Structure 1
């Protein structure tokens, strides 16, 4: 699991892409997908998640 914190919207895509790249190795190993959860303004959690089918990335807002 990686927590991503950004101050400006312009930083978000790059920060999430970097986190997804890191997590994708674990997701591939465990044959799961990747879930990105917005937990607050400029705050996200990126993790391999068994509820997401292998090879997919799902984004949810809480």
Structure 2
């Protein structure tokens, strides 16, 4: 990211994070921590945009997605 910002100082950087959806709440909490850590680290950097994309691992988890 530092290299991109140095080469293109006036350009937005869009970071896309996958948010893994699981059936088990404990597993969901463990995997979601990684996304939260990345978002906290990136949210204060100017011209950086972070987007979460839900990714269900099981058919049951995909049923929980409401569009």
Structure in which a larger fraction of residues adopt helix: 2
Which has the larger share of strand? 1
Larger Rg: 2
Per the TM superposition, whether the score is higher than 0.5 is no
TM-score, normalization by structure 1 = 0.40
TM-score between the two structures when normalised by the length of structure 2: 0.38
